[in-house]
Structure 1
Amino acid sequence: MPPKKAVEDVTSNVVAFGRVRKNLKMGCVGLPNVGKSSLFNLLTEQSAPAENYPFCTIEPNEARCAVPDARYDFLCDLWKPPSMYPAYLQVTDIAGLIKGASQGEGLGNAFLSHIQAVDGMFHIVRAFDNDEVLHVDDSIDPVRDLNTIQSELCKKDLDILQKTIVAEEAIVRKAGGKYKMLPLFTETTTKIKAMLETDKPVRDGSWTPAEILLINEKMQLITTKPVIYLVNLTMKDYLRQKSKYLPLIAKWVTEHGGTPRDIVPFSIEFEEKLYALREEPTKLEEFMKECKVKSKLDKIITEGFTKLGLQYYFTAGEKEIRCWTIQKGCLAPQAAGAIHGDFERGFIKAEVVAYQDFHDLCEGGKSMGPIKAAGKYRQEGKTYVVQDGDIIHFQFSMFLAFLPRTKRLLLASKAISAVPKIAKD
């Protein structure tokens, strides 16, 4: 009998700019005195300094905030387990940039390196008039501010690109003809340079998977990072849901590769008022009825989490409800690996029910009986793409999980008949 076909490892099918990991970070970016540190404090319930002068923040502040989710709340209320773990968004408060930051103005090079360390940006845009809050350019002009930040980030990326090219050329010279510059590298860097020289972010280009992998491997470009534009309004403008600056900002964003969803108007003044009333529920309820608008903090958190290309699935039971953060497009074995690496190595199958199916069919109980009866409880294999909000139970082989990788590959390639017998014993 001919040997069985070798079992191939199934790898992730996610190809995107940036790092592949679950604890990605959003950084608060913008000019000085636009509300970055105040927003950071509200999101994370921290007390980072937020004073009315430029460069109050020097070293970045880091914290995390729970991702709000009614699905998670429902599962926790249903099971009431002793342990409950929501998903978290990591947030970094980065000092303000000014014009000339890419040449070192205002400690700009240090601050730009802090932006390199995050994976996405909350670009806070000042759209409020207040003579008591200083503006580094002495006037309020959101479009000018947007151009300033984007220009500085593109200039920094040009510097990173040039250093990368020089380093690759040095490798070629040192190899003495044994190594040549890959055509893909030359074509990709030429394309990047043309974009950056016109202040166009790299994320707005059209890229093949091979080009994306090359950029991820060779360069740490800032303008590949996704952006959400948070427009900080006065409380008066936020309550009436209108501002003379919003149409100008929306026009700029859509002309520079963004979409309307990338713009989130909010008000630090309004959010701080809500936070001050958090321990006075009666006054808070009266205030909310009077103003007829809601807080945008939950939306900012969920949009930031989504913009990073993250999602999560649930494990649910009597002992624990937990959200496991993974990348969108993640396959079942890699999703199991979020719990423990051994789960990925020994993955056999995933027992899956979509959250909405469970919610609609559970009849207020914890049993999977009604879900199974309706045919909504599925068994999925290695090629299953995990969906946001799936409730999953993994099955894996302890035998395969703890075998060294070389032995696992040898067994798979030769399909040794003794494997089932050993596992059974």
Structure 2
Amino acid sequence: MALQCGIVGLPNVGKSTLFNCLSNAKAQAANFPFCTIEPNVGVITVPDDRLTKLAELVKPNKVQPNTIEIVDIAGLVKGASKGEGLGNQFLGNIRATNAIIHVLRCFDDGNVIHVDGSVDPIRDKEIIDTELQLKDLDTVVKRIQKVEKMAKTDKDAKKTFDILTIFKAHLETGKSIRTAKVEQEDFDFIADLGLLTQKPVMYVCNVDEASVVNGNKYVEMVKASVADENAEVLVISAKIESEIAELESYEERQEFLADLGLTESGVNKLIRAAYRLLDLYT
């Protein structure tokens, strides 16, 4: 089964635009084949030179490369952790993924309405974080209640209780589980809970054309905000990516990028970052 990255974000931040650009990645770069298997799920083939060379030597009837599924998860809103709107479905979709690509709006445009009426990527990030943290807190508390009595006599139950007690306190301070100061074996020990904020994350700052090379004040805000998460921050313009997707030839795309001062598309950067996020180095 392919590993999954879920793309999350508030409505109208450019999340689905980026997903649609990814679905055109096959036309943009042969190194990153991508096909859509459902309206909101696409599959990227992981390029692997070793596999190619091995296939040339062995000449098998079929070569099956690794793949990553990219899932466009419908826009989360406040109250999702309590089941508001389609909250339970959204959170369930995130639980099924292995890593999270969090898209943040980092551009001003009066023609694109923000659900909260203004541009503030830190507020937007905190809204998503809070919903995921609240859902995790509910999961952790329920499991603590389940193992508390057993912890007195059962070694594994005691370890589970101790780890989750640390996580509960961490979540109650408004922090995601991935930043908790515990050993990796502790994370692995409770992996069956599928905690949402334990998943690795990267942040995609969706900017305007003028900011795509050097970023802007919003990007700097995001970088400062996630400094303690050891998370990658990408600067991409979904608008530019959608324009690139319309160009027919490789030469046209490269000329377009060069005119903007870019050497490669944001989609290519995003795909490589997704590999890194899942530790899929080729």
Normalised by the length of structure 1, the TM-score is 0.57
Once residues 142 and 93 of structure 2 are traced to their aligned partners in structure 1, the CA distance between those partners, rounded to angstroms, is: 18
Where does residue 339 of structure 1 map in the other structure?
none
Work out the CA distance in 2 between the residues paired with 1:178 and 1:79: 57
On the 8 A contact 1:168/1:181 being kept in 2, the answer is no
Q: 2:269 is matched with which residue?
A: 299
Give the match for residue 220 of structure 1: 194
2 CA distance for matches of 1:38 and 1:113? 22
Q: How many residues align?
A: 268
2:169 matched residue in structure 1: 194
Aligned equivalent of 1:233, options 197, 207, 211? 207
How far the C-alpha of 1:44 sits from its partner, in A, is: 2.7
SS for the counterpart of 1:147 is helix
SS in structure 1 of the partner of residue 202 of structure 2: strand
- Do residues 110 (structure 1) and 89 (structure 2) align? yes
2:161 corresponds to which letter in structure 1?
T
Give the letter aligned to residue 152 of structure 1.
Answer: E
**5+ residue gaps, structure 2:** 26-37
Structure 1 residues 289 and 76: CA distance shift in structure 2, 3 A? farther
| CA shift digits 1:154-189 (9 cap, x unpaired) | 1110011122223335x849xxx9868833122111
Aligned to 1:251: 224
- Deviation for aligned residue 1:43: 1.4
In the other structure, the counterpart of 1:184 is: 159
Q: Is contact 1:124–1:232 with CA below 8 Å preserved after alignment?
A: yes
Give the superposition deviation at 1:289: 3.1
Unpaired runs of 5+ residues, structure 1, are 1-21, 47-58, 312-388, 390-425
Residues 83-98 of structure 1 mapped to structure 2, 5 A cutoff: 85-98=64-77
Give percent identity, aligned residues only.
35
Match runs of 1:109-148 below 5 Å: 109-148=88-127
2:268 is paired with a residue whose SS is helix
Among candidates 288, 291, 301, match of residue 257 of structure 2: 288
Question: Kindly tell me: are residues 84 and 291 of structure 1, through their superposed partners in 2, closer, same or farther at Cα, counting changes over 3 Å?
Answer: farther
Distance 1:161 1:74, change over 3 A: closer
Per-residue Cα deviation, 1:295-335 (whole angstroms, up to 9, x for no partner): 02122112212212334xxxxxxxxxxxxxxxxxxxxxxxx
Which residue number in structure 2 is paired with residue 357 of structure 1? none
CA distance in 2, matches of 1:303, 1:285: 21
Q: Name the Cα RMSD after superposition.
A: 3.0
Higher radius of gyration, 1 or 2: 1
Counterpart-to-counterpart distance in 2, 1:282 and 1:129: 31
In the alignment, the residues of structure 2 paired with residue 245 and residue 223 of structure 1 have an alpha-carbon distance, to the nearest angstrom, of 23
SS of the residue corresponding to residue 231 of structure 1 reads: strand
Q: CA distance change for structure 1 residues 193 and 264 in 2, over 3 Å: closer, same or farther?
A: same
Specify the alignment match of 2:215 in structure 1.
242
